[in-house]
Amino acid sequence: MKRARLCGLAASLLSAAAAAQPPVVEKVDPPNWWAAHSINPVRLLIKGRNLAGARVECPRLACGATRVNAAGTYAFVDVTIPRARTAGDYPLVLRTPAGTARVPFTVSAPLARAGRFAGFGHDDVIYLIMPDRFADGDPSNDDPAASRGLLNRAEGRRYHGGDLAGVRAKLPYLKDLGVTAIWLNPIYDNTNVLDTKEVYDGKATTAYHGYHAIDYYAVDEHFGDVAEFKRLVDAAHAQGIKVILDMVANHTSAYHPWVADPPTPTWYHGTAARHPNNTWQTWTLADPYATPDMRRATLDGWFIDILPDLNQDDPDVARYITQNTLWWVGVSGIDGIRQDTWPYVPRTFWRDWMTAINREYPALRVVGEVFDGDPAMIAFFQGGRPQFDGVDDKVQSLFDFPLYYAVRSAFASGRPVRDVAQLLSHDRMYRDPSSLVTFLGLHDVSRFMNERGATTEGLELAYTFLLTARGTPLLYYGDEIALPGGNDPDNRRDFPGGWPDDSANAFERAGRSAGQQAVWAHVQKLLRLRAARPDLRRGPTQHLFASEQQYVYRRGSSVVALNNDTKSVEIRLPLPSLPGDALGLCPAPRAEGGGVVITVPRRTGCVF
């Protein structure tokens, strides 16, 4: 009893000592906002010390009531910006019984809307870039002072030195290839130390990939800063290339300051010491018979029992994530968002998040990641209609993982191409199959060329399908030169030529091998054909022929014939006539018996 009294007295003395200290403001999220924004008031999260009993005063703006967490380290305040308020600095004052502190805050001028916030769709071709692995445009940030010792190109899970300046320098390459949009993996400020929690093969890791945020309002120092990101977006737009930014609303880094000191008691689902482990049972989320308890581990669990799971049911968390999303859009002018781990966040949150985005930026589009090969799962999460739970999550696009698996199986492993046609027959399940993003590979799977039986012939054939089929096609950096790579992190190899000391520069024709150039030229020719023929982007799909290893379909007035066999074939089609092959790979069709006969060489695709 005596010890308890002494402990209580010590705690009281510490609390009193803290209360006697003047307040200190360390960070303000967001640091700026816009007067005519659809979110007004904006909710500020002020991080600091000795904030207990604080109230925030707004000399030239309007402040709501101040709320401070029990530790006195975070304060929330809603700030209303008069619509006519001009851009400039509008510092606030945080006042406690022990003193005052300045709270920096800026009202920003909105970016001009013309040429920005444009969205993306089936007229586009997206190119996925992992900034750390693409090109090193600014060697001065390779080993920055804030996070020394994380650079090592010999280690797959260390930083390699790629950055936003490197992406900007290679925009002419992308323009020449024919892509119209780039998707960047997350650029948030990530873990600043070697990660000894997420360890593989006995080695600590880094967050070079961008998915372990420690500051949602900063760019990682290895990549540049917010100003450099703005320069990249402006330069891309000047080249006619849109920008899609990866975002992560599900979890943070295990090293985020919030883990030890959360702004609210329910900021995360649990604590580092006591939390649910994610069981990855996403099927339960689409199961009308599943109980809330069955779904809870998937929605609330921490990824790999390490990454802290944000609680979007906490209104302050939901508001923070939504404002942060709109802040990145507003400061940069991006055109789209790729949202990570879509199923693992409550659908009611996505509905409200999408509503906020659509209200401010009606043309901007979001593609969500539902990593599942079952078309029924993709259809369940596709926006535009309520599901059995009464929720329409409103997302405009999802990745077509079911088609990815069929494409890999047929064109890499040589299994029946008819499986691709059969998979597409499931399009009846989708509200809008043309809105899906199609792909041969991305950063979470092994490279196409790593599949057993994969050849550059098969890769070119796969590209012929990808770039003529319905949907918005995606290219993963390096796949246009048949870059090999196994599972993570081997699938994230550096693009050859992105570093001054690389032995070959595949950004230039002279630096590519004959095999690399053949694939690159094939992709470029297909992209030019796709740009020239609207029916390859927007035309309805009609299946004309499907056998075990041959598949012929029509897109509007274009006809695509694929032969996945190891020998040449003739295919009779019930068409009055056909023009020549635009790719120059098939001989001229011949009329015969009221139809046409086409000859398609082995492992070849032709576009008539």
Is residue 457 flagged as an active site residue? no
| Residue from 124, 136, 316, 369 carrying the catalytic annotation | 369
Q: Which CATH number is 2-108's, of 3.40.640.10, 2.60.40.10, 1.10.540.10, 3.30.360.10?
A: 2.60.40.10
Written as six digits, the tokens of 283 are 């099927």
Q: Can you tell me the mean pLDDT for 30-53?
A: 98
Q: Is 80 exceeded by the pLDDT of residue 16?
A: no
Would you tell me how many other CB atoms lie within 10 Å of the CB of residue 291?
9
Q: Can you tell me the mean pLDDT for 402-420?
A: 98
Q: Can you tell me the mean pLDDT for 326-353?
A: 98
Q: Which CATH number is 126-253+334-538's, of 3.90.1570.10, 3.20.20.80, 3.40.50.2000, 2.60.40.3710?
A: 3.20.20.80
% the chain with pLDDT above 70? 97
pLDDT bucket at 4, cuts 50 / 70 / 90: very low
Q: Is 70 exceeded by the pLDDT of residue 2?
A: no
As a whole number, the mean pLDDT across the chain is 96
| Residue from 124, 300, 340, 392 carrying the catalytic annotation | 340
Tell me the CATH architecture of domain 541-607. Answer: Sandwich (2.60)
Is residue 480 flagged as an active site residue? no
Q: Is 50 exceeded by the pLDDT of residue 186?
A: yes
Which whole-number Å values give the CA distances from 286 to 436, 437, 553, in the listed order?
19, 21, 32
Q: Can you tell me the mean pLDDT for 135-148?
A: 98
Say what the pLDDT of residue 105 is.
Answer: 98
% the chain with pLDDT above 90? 97
Q: Can you tell me the mean pLDDT for 576-595?
A: 96
- Does 541-607 match 126-253+334-538 at the fold level? no
Question: For the residues of 533-555, what is the DSSP string, one character each?
Answer: -THHHHPPEEEEEE-SSEEEEEE
pLDDT bucket at 148, cuts 50 / 70 / 90: very high
Q: Is 60 exceeded by the pLDDT of residue 124?
A: yes
pLDDT bucket at 17, cuts 50 / 70 / 90: low
Q: Is 60 exceeded by the pLDDT of residue 8?
A: no
Compute, in degrees rounded to 10, the torsion defined by CA atoms 350, 355, 361, 362: 110
Question: For the residues of 213-276, what is the DSSP string, one character each?
Answer: EEEEEEE-TTT--HHHHHHHHHHHHHTT-EEEEEE--SB--TT-HHHHS-SSTTSBSS-SSS-P
Q: Which helix (H) or strand (E) holds 10?
A: helix 2-19
Query: pLDDT by residue (tens digit) across 361-378?
Result: 999 999 999 999 999 999
Domain boundaries, the chain: 2-108, 126-253+334-538, 541-607
Q: Is 80 exceeded by the pLDDT of residue 288?
A: yes
pLDDT bucket at 295, cuts 50 / 70 / 90: very high
Instruction: Report if pTM > 0.85.
Output: yes
CB 21, CB 49: distance < 8 Å: yes
Q: Can you tell me the mean pLDDT for 518-537?
A: 98
